[in-house]
Amino acid sequence: MSGNGQMVPMTYREAVREAMREAMRKDERVFLMGEDVGRYGGCFAVSKGLLQEFGPERVRDTPLSESAFVGAGIGAAMNGMRPIVEVMTVNFSLLAGDQILNNAATILHMSGGLFNVPLVIRMATGAGRQVAAQHSHSLEGWFAHIPGIKVITPATLEDARGMLWTALEDPDPVLIFEHASLYNMAGELPASAGPVDIDRARVRRSGADVSIITYGACLFKALEAAETLARDGIEADVVDLRTLRPLDDETFLASVAKTHRAVIVDEGWRSVGISAEVSARIMERAFYELDAPVERICSVEVPMPYARHLEQAALPQAETIVATVQRMVHAHV
């Protein structure tokens, strides 16, 4: 993409596609592999057109074996390539869990620092699309538990467009979790949009009354809640974590020091999740800044229902965030 300040309309899906296209044009070592990424154009149409542009050597359809093609990606990365491995949805990543946990994450350590694994794994995550219990997981918190990898969760068009190249330049494995409900999200990006960092959280809205800490698709529920709260005279600091491993403690701790209240919104399950980790770090490092206990809003701990009204009831919603914040603020004034 080129231009001076020109804004280009695009969807989240197109932002990811453009990021892959630019990376493949820029570096001949970059290639894409995964189920249905070639002739079919990707399960979510993210890679549509890339096979025609780059050919079957660089856009490779794989057998239906996540363990095999993630393992092949690890091998390619160790031998100097820069593979982008697409795992169709996050639940299928469990079939490659051994490769990710026992190989990709450990080879640098096990080789005494001799072998890096510059591998990028992309996968769709999250619920809200009525695809029932097996395809609605938010397991990024599981992978954030693993030393040796980075876990990033682009929510905005800018991050969807810019995080991939930064991840490809990283010498170690990077897992990118793209919330499937965001693929149709439309907006505009500068024609000159380029790489962005994958190390820092971002404050997406500034306020002094409460910190709403979140990531992924829940960012937009948090921003919607913040708009509603503002009409009640409550101004929220909305923090987009962006990267779940390593967590950028400084950004959300600075926010809590400013607002003295924290609500963590996480589409994952409440028990032993990212929300618990963020809450623990706030308690460890900012306890005396708090005017109220940390609150967590997470998905209900059930297999995700198929019926839309039950699915929506199981997920964090803007209305729940609003009610929680109002209760916190009005109870401690």
Percent with pLDDT over 70 in the chain: 98
Burial 308-329 (b: 16+ CB within 10 A, else e): eeebeebbbbbeebbebbeebb
Q: Which entry of 14, 22, 35, 135 is annotated as an active-site residue?
A: 135
* pLDDT attached to residue 1: 41
Give yes or no for residue 68 having a pLDDT over 60. Answer: yes
Q: Name the amino acid, one letter, at 331.
A: A
Tell which CATH classification among 3.90.1150.10, 3.40.50.920, 2.60.40.1080, 1.10.10.1200 matches the domain 202-331.
3.40.50.920
Annotated active-site residue 179? The verdict is no
CA gap 29, 19 in Å, rounded: 15
Annotated active-site residue 135? The verdict is yes
Q: Which entry of 35, 66, 178, 295 is annotated as an active-site residue?
A: 66
pLDDT digits (tens, 9 = 90+) for 215-273: 999 999 999 999 999 999 999 999 999 999 999 999 999 999 999 999 999 999 999 99
pLDDT digits (tens, 9 = 90+) for 112-158: 999 999 999 999 999 999 999 999 999 999 999 999 999 999 999 99
In the chain, domain spans: 7-190, 202-331
CA gap 192, 318 in Å, rounded: 33
pLDDT digits (tens, 9 = 90+) for 70-96: 999 999 999 999 999 999 999 999 999
What is 7-190's CATH number? 3.40.50.970
Where does the pLDDT of residue 20 fall: very low under 50, low under 70, confident under 90, or very high at 90 and above?
very high
Give yes or no for residue 2 having a pLDDT over 70. Answer: no
Where does the pLDDT of residue 333 fall: very low under 50, low under 70, confident under 90, or very high at 90 and above?
low
* Full-model pTM: 0.96
Would you say the CATH fold of 202-331 matches that of 7-190?
yes
- Residue 56's contacts (CB-CB under 8 Å, 6 or more residues apart) are 38
Where are the alpha helices (H) located in the chain, listed in sequence order? 12-26, 50-54, 66-78, 97-98, 107-110, 140-143, 157-169, 218-230, 249-259, 274-286, 308-314, 318-331
CA gap 263, 189 in Å, rounded: 30
Q: Which of 172, 117, 324 is nearest to 234 (CA)?
A: 324
